[in-house]
């Protein structure tokens, strides 16, 4: 798995650009439109969820008026830390398809048959 390398010119893309604009980052060397690969997104999400579960498991069981909130806050923070750290270390970039991504919903009036 490449680490933030452009697949066209093999130049290194800065970490901040990959993390801040993961769906539409431009290569600073050749100018091609890049995005995170699907395996990178899925692994980052999976590891973030595992980190959140880990944090929830180890902080649950607290007492007091806010004992229920600590596991939730810890799990959200863990997801927010683990997922970007994985992307900083193992982000795989692919060339962004021309014309942008496919729409997530069908256009109105075009019901499937
Ligand atoms: Zn490039």
Distance CA 32, CA 5 (A): 12
Buried b (16+ CB within 10 A) or exposed e, 7-19: eeeeeebeeeebb
Gap from CA of 111 to ligand 1 centroid (Å): 40
Q: How far is CA 101 from the centre of its chain?
A: 16
Cα angle: 25, vertex 9, 102; to 5 degrees:
40
Q: Confidence band (pLDDT; 50, 70, 90) for 10?
A: very high
Mean pLDDT value across the chain? 87
User: Largest Cα–Cα distance in the chain?
Assistant: 56
- 79-109 pLDDT, tens digit per residue, is 999 999 999 999 999 999 876 555 556 666 6
Q: For residue 27, is pLDDT > 60?
A: yes
What is the reported pTM?
A: 0.76
Strands of the sheet containing 33-36, edge to edge, are 25-26, 33-36, 93-95
pLDDT of 104: 58
Gap from CA of 32 to ligand 1 centroid (Å): 6
């Amino acid at each position: 798995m490449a680490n933030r390398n452009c697949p066209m010119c093999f130049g290194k893309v800065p970490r901040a650009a990959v993390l801040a604009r993961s769906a539409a980052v431009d290569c600073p060397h050749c100018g091609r439109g890049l995005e995170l690969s699907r395996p990178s997104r899925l692994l980052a999400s999976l590891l973030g969820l595992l980190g959140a579960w880990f944090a929830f498991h180890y902080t649950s069981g607290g007492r007091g008026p806010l004992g229920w909130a600590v596991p939730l806050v810890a799990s959200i923070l863990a997801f927010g830390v683990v997922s970007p750290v994985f992307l900083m270390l193992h982000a795989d970039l692919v060339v962004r398809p021309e014309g942008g991504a496919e729409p997530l919903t069908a256009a109105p009036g075009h019901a499937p048959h």
